[in-house]
Amino acid sequence: MSDYKDIVVAVDLSEEASQIATKAARLAQLHGAQLHIVHVIEPLSFAYGGDIPIDFSTIQEQIQQQAEAQLHTLCGRLNVPIERLHVTLGRPENEVHAIADKLSADLIVVGSHGRHGLALLLGSTANGVLHGAKCDVLAVRVG
């Protein structure tokens, strides 16, 4: 088994994201690998039955700015260059796969949450990343 060279860690903005990213950073250090941090923002889409069009672009931009600020702090703490921070819009499992493929990543690290509340949705994201990945996937247990 060869060492990992390019590791992608997918993080949300939860309290556990730092724990997951720290484990991924340790793995990258052990293998002499490059660490890339990925965060996917899901598009806002509220079901509204009225005839009045609603523009969510300003809210979406604010969400992206807030996410980038938090992730820049995380990159600084882990000594990951900003060039290796990837913030994108879409379905998390699809975007994580696309970025991992583009980078020829050989490991994806994701958080695996317990089965309660909103964590159920996040758990299904980890499951989606696992089943569609073309490389190894490490699920870090949190929660």
What backbone torsions phi and psi does residue 70 show, to the nearest 5 degrees?
Answer: -65, -40
CB 42 within 8 A of CB 15: no
Measured CA to CA, the distance from residue 80 to residue 78 in angstroms comes to: 5
Q: Is the pLDDT of residue 141 over 60?
A: yes
Q: Which domains does the chain have, with CATH numbers?
A: 6-44+55-141 (3.40.50.620)
Coil/strand/helix, residue 140: strand
Q: Are strands 85-89 and 34-41 parallel, antiparallel or unpaired?
A: parallel
Measured CA to CA, the distance from residue 78 to residue 35 in angstroms comes to: 10
pLDDT tens string 43-84: 876 555 556 667 778 888 899 999 999 999 999 999 999 999
Q: How confident is the model at residue 119 (pLDDT cuts 50, 70, 90)?
A: very low
Nearest to 71 by CA among 35, 108, 125, 97: 35
